[in-house]
A and B are shown apart, each in its own frame.
Chain A
């Protein structure tokens, strides 16, 4: 059937003011005003806002199902366990893991990385070995490896990047040596927006028998992730950056790796039987889930996945790509603005500096206009050093952001220049 041109126009209009499929309506927080102006929330790489269905899921759990999971035989415990495990199954499907046994609930990306460093790393990395990370990592994918390397007398090595913020893949291949025991890299850089060619990088490492961990915190909100297609051995991400609640995240790991790894923390739920002489650990994934988890958070993450599925990940990627291009072009047109991170493949993030004006001042003046951006080093100080700036201003997008909001940002930047330029 032919599409009515009026319908197409109407759809474009709705997107312009209300995000993809008019979804802004679903985010109660976005309706507020800040400093007397409508809120323009462009700090999504720090944390995303939550749709009503996620807020409702949290409330429903506490109002109707609250009880401890995997323990009770009573009705509520059964119900809560079902909801929690249903959420794990949604996550499995969301990233296309082979089995729910490979989906471990953690507190967030940071804990996911620490789990692998503390368990896999401690067991397999020895004196003189090397761990390979990249020049664009978030501190959470640097410091756990530094701690491990210091403890083991191993060496942390770094894949360099070019002036556009793209990893040098020739250097990467060269750095993958006899002593490399693990590669740990971001899927998408939180400070630059660079999308790294993970599938190719994994293939190269695997040819040399080296496992790969991927920090997916900035990727899952923006694009379809298929861990089996990527081929990586570990993939970790946070719920709160993908429209779910804080305090919960996921570590995906290939079963053969997880099976061979010692527990990360000891406690309840991660055991089969305990005597003072010997403890038998539980099966996957519970072996890595000691203690009562963030049950409400896990369940609400499932609601966030359902919500994103409804909008459709492919459509989200296309919409955001268009929005980022629109914003990039608009900022390029402003005298004195320099974009930090100009990789060919980018998603979600637009970092910039303004000649002679400190990002902190940019942030304060934009805030006065109701615009929320992040200013600072974005927990990626080595990236700032690489580009020779103390900090950047960063606008980061989600599917509820609109071209109208980009226009407001551009006006705000002109105001910054007017006040401080």
Chain B
């Protein structure tokens, strides 16, 4: 049970039920679709980048609790960050959910993202947690319109 509680923490349940920045953005500078064909998760990530700063970020779509909470937490963490900072957080997040870093020892750097530490115990759910991040990454890189986890 503890691993399951670790996965479905309060922060995650809360963001799943009341996702932040869950809206379309009309004046986005970039919008990218992210799919997980395995389970049908689909999100669109909107970013408004001015100069080097993410002025606004939002998302739309549907998927499991982990993927939706991840998109929501990501959007609240990245607002106002520079592209470089966003990229660094993406790397941190990825290491966290794949179990490459210990959340306990990196609480300060991870902040709210630490809630996703439990994902590393569920390898099949890593894609759920990282879908929004990969999509955001593609939006900042301005390379493609659609990405897929497969």
Binding site for B on A (CB under 8 A): 357-361, 364-365, 368, 375-377, 384, 390-391, 419-420
Contact = CB atoms under 8 A, between A and B. Distances in A.
Interface in B2-48: 3-4, 7-8, 13, 16, 38-42
A21 to B, nearest CB: 35
21 contacts: A358-B65, A359-B39, A360-B64, A360-B66, A361-B65, A364-B4, A364-B7, A364-B125, A368-B3, A375-B39, A376-B38, A377-B39, A384-B40, A390-B42, A390-B63, A391-B39, A391-B40, A419-B4, A419-B13, A420-B13, A420-B65
A231 to B, nearest CB: 37
A361 B7 CA distance: 10
Interface in B50-99: 62-66
Q: Which 3 A/B pairs are nearest by Cβ-Cβ distance?
A: A390-B40, A358-B64, A360-B64
B128 interface: yes
A390 B4 contact: no
Contacts of A391: 39-40
Nearest to A365: B4
Contacts of B66: 360-361
A390 B41 contact: yes
Contacts of B40: 376-377, 384, 390-391
A360 B39 contact: yes
Contacts of B7: 364
A300 B4 CA distance: 39
B1 A368 contact: yes
B108 to A, nearest CB: 29
A368 B7 CA distance: 11
A54 to B, nearest CB: 28
Contacts of A357: 65
A359, A360, A390, A391 interface centre (most CB from chain B within 10 Å) = A360
A419 B39 contact: no
A421 to B, nearest CB: 10
Contact of B8 (A375, A377, A384, A420): A420
A357 to B, nearest CB: 8
Contacts of A419: 4, 8, 13
Contacts of A365: 4, 8
Nearest to A384: B40
Nearest to B40: A390
Contacts of A359: 39, 64
A177 B62 CA distance: 40
Nearest to A392: B40
Contact of B16 (A364, A368, A420): A420
Contacts of B62: 358, 390
Interface string B114-147: 0000000010010010000000000000000000
Contacts of A368: 1, 3-4
Contacts of B42: 390
A416 to B, nearest CB: 10
A364, A384, A419 interface centre (most CB from chain B within 10 Å) = A364
A358 B38 CA distance: 13
Contacts of B4: 364-365, 368, 419
